[in-house]
Structure 1
Amino acid sequence: MIDIILSELHFSSIWNGGIFLFTLFGAIIYLFMLPNGKNHTIWKSIVFLVGLAITFLAIGSPLNIVARIQFSRHILQLILLLLLAPPLLIIGFKTEVLKNVASKPFLQKMCDLLTRPSLTFTLFFILLYAVHMPFLFDAVRMDIYTNYFYMLGLFIVALLFWIPLISEKKLNIKQKTIYAGASMVVFIPLSIFFYVAKTSLYTVYSDLSYFIQSLEACFPANKSLPPEYYEMLIPSSPVHEQQLGAMFLLIGQIVIFGLTLGIPLIRKRISR
């Protein structure tokens, strides 16, 4: 049914041109305007571009529409945008730019403050938990600009959140293990919150009028669909969608944080 709905929509409704241009400009600036350091490799460029592509996939592709229909797809969207794209962008970023920033004391102090592990950790989880409070989640989904503003804020904070884990200067191996372990633990209550709920948490996935308003926020002006289309799209079991989303979140974050810690340790042992 979702395929039928997507086929009824204009190309610009399911592929966000603004987000595409943003990621395209980001790729052009990265490839042709930012200086390459001596140790910069083509693999780092590939990793960065993959991170940009995942960012676009999360918020500029049909997934953004489907996430307004199925809660589990919303969780997949968050995993891509907040847990997968940021570390790739950080790993692939050109270190020569960071050296130029470090040469200016004021900018260096500002960066040190914004990437302080205790600050980034606290801010990331406060925003993540806050947006999933039912009253706020429903309110954010009613307006496309508010939704994108909040998602942009979460994405920026996610970048700051990941810097202590990826950077070789912020934390040592033991501290990174604690940081990642604490992150996995703090994700668990959110997964439990989704899984144990006996009723639909969010009216945008269960109430027809809210559902229509949330979905049409992504459509061009004066664009709508027949009411029977919307009725068929509302999940027959929103509680099941929440449980599925809870499992996606729990497994996804464990795998990503596990790989983030495991790959450097394996490389270190191999290099000995």
Structure 2
Amino acid sequence: MDEKLLDKHMEEMRPYLLKWHREHSVMMLTSPFKTLQYKVGMEGFAKPKDLLCQSYLYSISEAFRELVRTYYYAQAAHQIEVELREKNDILWSNYWKYEMKNYYFRTVIPRIISLLDYVAVMINELSCCEVVKEEGKVYFDPFKSCLKKQKKRAGWLSFKEINELNLILSPIYKDISQSDRNVLRHYRNTSTHRYFVGIDELTVALQKRMLSVKERQKFNIQQTHSYGLSGLPEYSFSELVIIAEKLLNNLDSMLSQLLQMDMIRKSVKLIEEKK
């Protein structure tokens, strides 16, 4: 390793690293997300229902804070990437694009979807697993459908609280089209279970696609899929960031309303943080 070259590069990047941290800090301090205004306090002696709320909501609120921090790190890196590109410093611009921005942004969408699952698990636990019997099958979207079908109280949840929860959970995909939802689902599933997804870059060039019935009949073949080389990245940052921002805003709205529910406020000590 050439330590002198490393020191030279670090010195070149020092102003941008400081700017990156500063921009991220400003974003956190001036964030419009309402959920960040609260911290969930924990109390050692409480009823089982209250302890359940405290535990899950503490986990959810901390996960949301970390998610937002990650998102802002990516946004701050994007600003530096653009600034360096405008200065025609393509080499360092690409460093901030691929090594910094993508590093942080890559996990934003999976984190959002995981957070939705956390909420579903908490509510299902409050229902004493009456909404979904099998704990391993609690996922936000199908759980939301099951909760809507509930016609009476479930566990610790009164029917009134179930109706209120349905109203809070319903707008999670507000302003998000079906095609955007397909992108979210495909991106999350691919990045979580399949391979390292490229954003503005190719990682897996050989892609599989399903053959239509017409194609199979035309070529008289039994196989259901074909493979081909792709010349374009699967996703672009400009496409994903718009969808992620919409979903993040909806998630914040949902969580902040959840924290204002009577059953939550009775169970959890919310500490409002003054800016």
TM surpasses 0.5: no
Structure ranking higher in helix proportion: 1
- Between structure 1 and structure 2, the one with the greater Rg is 2
The two structures have a TM-score, normalised by structure 2, of 0.34
- TM-score, length basis structure 1: 0.34
